[in-house]
Amino acid sequence: MRVLLDECIDEALRHAIVGHNCRYAGLKGLTNGRLLAAAEKAGFEVLITVDQNMQYQQSLSDREIALVILVARTTNLDDLLPLVPDVLTALEVLKSGDVVRISNC
């Protein structure tokens, strides 16, 4: 699966998303809607973010991309890494328009 990490996530997390083509956004300054559109245009199937509001600000029902929202104590890599096993499980079943929240809080 082609996975895009939002710029608000430590780029090193992509190395833990094994078995998938995971890239770092590097799309600084794009609003959520434009970020989703750019990700879709680039062929990404999933966007991983820590933005808790994106699912409420953007409708994904008509999108060709899924959204994984990580919820941890902080956005530091050490707090996000324990979520990776659940992320990998979710990536196996996600389809376009899905939104999944993965939390350890």
Residues of the domain holding 10: 2-103
pLDDT surpasses 80 at 26:
no
- Quick: pLDDT tens for 71-100: 999 999 999 999 999 999 999 999 999 999
The model's pTM is 0.92
**Cα torsion 19, 21, 26, 27: sign:** negative
HEC assignment per residue over 32-71:
HHHHHHHHHHCCCCEEEECCCCHHHHCCCCCCCCEEEEEE
Count: domains in the chain: 1
Band of the pLDDT at 27, cuts 50, 70, 90?
A: low
Q: How far apart are the first and last CA of the chain?
A: 27
What's 45's domain CATH number? 3.40.50
